Structure 1
Amino acid sequence: MISSFSSTMLIRSILKKQSSLSSYNNILRRNNYSSSSECVPPARKVVVLGAAGGIGQPLSLLMKLNPLVSMLSLYDIVGTPGVTSDLSHANTRSQVVGYMGEGNLGKALEGADLVIIPAGIPRKPGMTRDDLFNINAGIVKGLCTAIAKYCPHALVNIISNPVNSTVPIASEVFKKAGTYDERRLFGVTTLDVVRAKTFYAAKAQVPVSAVNVPVVGGHAGITILPLFSQATPKADSLSEEEITALTKRTQDGGTEVVEAKAGKGSATLSMAYAGALFADACLKGLNGVPDVVECSFVESNVTELPFFASKVRLGKNGVEEVLGLGPLSDNEKQGLEALIPELKSSIDKGIKFANQS
């Protein structure tokens, strides 16, 4: 669960009103975007595909509140007009436009700088992320085909599960279209980081705003590997058993929410929060803000796998640098060894699906 303190920090950081852009303006001036004393961030179009869904609606709200967004394009197969009308009344910088139905997908995407994909069905009790594959894989494949046609240079943030498979699907679609740029494709694993930070802060009794925990691997079950040995601030008081329990809770965070909602939903609010955090980081990178580092599931040579989640430095072209794992504890080394076969299977499954027709 995201604490009220975390929510406050979100409002104070990525969800600032337009009147509180002075520090960002200084960065813009240093990067020669404007020589005026009152500059605004560059115009950026953000598209949310699946905007009327359980994740899409709160995510769209958070992006509407982000001062780095000038145009917010909302797309879904149903329900988009209502969401668009509702959000358009919020007095923030971005203009909101909505599109509904497959025939309008191209219009929604044209000119996009960043495309966020939360589209698909949610997980229900008893379902694994693999159970989502047959439906969500086809949805992501279709949407990425349109992205390749209408906005091939946009950054693409994939939230739709199973991320371990949907990101490889997207890469194959873009390769077939001749538009693939590995720097511009991201699997959003930020929710794993958010959970690891929240759970660690509570156990270590430190302010969550000061906590940083890298999470590597993938975005399902044991493929999620939080590196608590690298967590800051360091909590030497935590035992090995407590770290093991924190790792398992981070890995099972999605199931915890699904069960708590008793079949009526999955992690939508916290996922929207995490998705907005990562989108904000991507926009800052595009705008030239230095040293923007977040964890993400990207094409990688950190391990023998073609895709892997690790710390990524973001910049004007998307991925500027994929960072190494750093020193691992013995338990983390074992966790890494255990996750490799499962993550490889999911990646291979996505690649096979994308190329079967």
Structure 2
Amino acid sequence: MVKVVVCGAAGGIGQPLSLLLKNSDLISHLALYDIVNAAGVAADLSHINTRSTVTGHTGANTLSEALQGAHTVVIPAGVPRKPGMTRDDLFKINAGIVRDLAKACVQYCPKAFILVISNPVNSTVPIVCEVFKKANVFDARRIFGVTTLDVVRSSTFVHQVRPQFEPHSNRITVIGGHSGTTIVPLLSQIESKLSLTAGEIKDLTKRIQFGGDEVVKAKAGAGSATLSMAYAGARFTNSLLEATVRGKTGLVESTYVHLRGNAGAADATIRATGGLEYFAQDVELGPEGVKRVVPLPTLSAEEQKLVKEAVEELKGNITKGIAFVAETQAKL
């Protein structure tokens, strides 16, 4: 049995994400958890004619039941970003939510694969890792920050500039982090026949970095990117399941991971990032989660500059997540 749990299943990302996961033939049990309305979402999705069983778990007292036996836990729980709200503002609200869910995972499914969507991912992934470290059950191969939306946006936006670039089948590597200038799309790696100009690369990079702002503005206070994030989250979850359940090889996705403890990440990447412990990079997926971190390609001069800027911001983001767990250690 392959049990996948969505924590925050009744939210703006959680509902469409759960809908997409209900279509997976690799999931036998889809457990939906939230503090409200999870039972209703589960009842609705249970009428869809696929083989997976759907259960709803509403309220903190049902979290243990939801998590027990989980193969994969996807965490979109938290509040969305609103106009004028930075990802730093989000941290103050979402950090505690993610920490408490990580604590529950440590207790009820310590070997599960943990997929973190809750923003700010640059800080929430270190929070999850620190909770697992303190419980002595940390495995760097099994905890992921889902940055797939940056990859999806990259392909989409390049296609809009160069229609001959097929967006669904062509994946663009995105490294760094998952907010603003920490997002570094490697547009130099696209096949040369597209002939993107320097100006187009600059504009595309900025749009990819701040694509989330387009959605926040367009929704006029009603939310942030939920549907596209759900699509991206389902895509990463399905890739992970293909590798860990079906044993499919050669699957590569960009994701924000703890570098130390993952094959291929040491030395070269750590040196390139100034010693960072966390970084988004192409990762080959395998039976244990991360099979290896794919070496960084040769970056253009502009991309090298962007990485330096990303590293400086990431240092603060990572430190903030680690410090949050240390400061609340008495509650763990």
With the shorter chain as reference, the TM-score category is over 0.9
Alignment-derived partner of residue 177 in structure 2: 218
Note the residue ranges of structure 1 that are not aligned, 5 or more in a row: 1-42
Q: Deviation of residue 236 (structure 1)?
A: 4.0
Q: Does 1:342 align with 2:300?
A: no
Alignment-derived partner of residue 168 in structure 2: 209
* Matched AA of 1:220: S
| Correspondence for 1:179 among 106, 113, 137 | 137
* Structure 1: distance between partners of 2:294 and 2:327: 33
Q: Deviation of residue 209 (structure 1)?
A: 2.5
Q: Deviation of residue 208 (structure 1)?
A: 1.5
Q: Does 1:229 align with 2:211?
A: no
Length, aligned pairs only: 314
Alignment-derived partner of residue 56 in structure 2: 98
| Correspondence for 2:297 among 322, 326, 331 | 326
| Correspondence for 1:307 among 273, 278, 292 | 278
1:192-236 deviation digits (Å, cap 9, x = unpaired): 0000011012212222233221000000000000000112x4344
| Correspondence for 1:249 among 203, 207, 222 | 207
* Matched AA of 1:99: H
Alignment-derived partner of residue 103 in structure 2: 145
* Structure 2: distance between partners of 1:318 and 1:355: 27
* Structure 1: distance between partners of 2:133 and 2:95: 17
* Matched AA of 1:216: I
* Structure 2: distance between partners of 1:164 and 1:111: 28
* Structure 2: distance between partners of 1:296 and 1:271: 14
1:144-185 deviation digits (Å, cap 9, x = unpaired): 000000000000000000000000000000011111101000
Q: Does 1:126 align with 2:84?
A: yes
With normalisation by structure 2, the TM-score equals 0.93
* Structure 2: distance between partners of 1:344 and 1:274: 26
Considering only aligned residues, what root-mean-square deviation do their CA atoms show, in Å? 0.9
Alignment-derived partner of residue 262 in structure 2: none
Q: Deviation of residue 297 (structure 1)?
A: 0.1
* Structure 2: distance between partners of 1:268 and 1:324: 31
Q: Deviation of residue 355 (structure 1)?
A: 0.9
* Structure 1: distance between partners of 2:193 and 2:227: 29
* Structure 1: distance between partners of 2:198 and 2:83: 30
Note the residue ranges of structure 2 that are not aligned, 5 or more in a row: 260-265
In the alignment, is the contact (CA less than 8 A) between 1:217 and 1:310 conserved in 2? yes
- What secondary structure sits across from 1:343 in the alignment? helix
Q: Does 1:239 align with 2:197?
A: yes
Identity %: 55
In the alignment, is the contact (CA less than 8 A) between 1:186 and 1:296 conserved in 2? yes
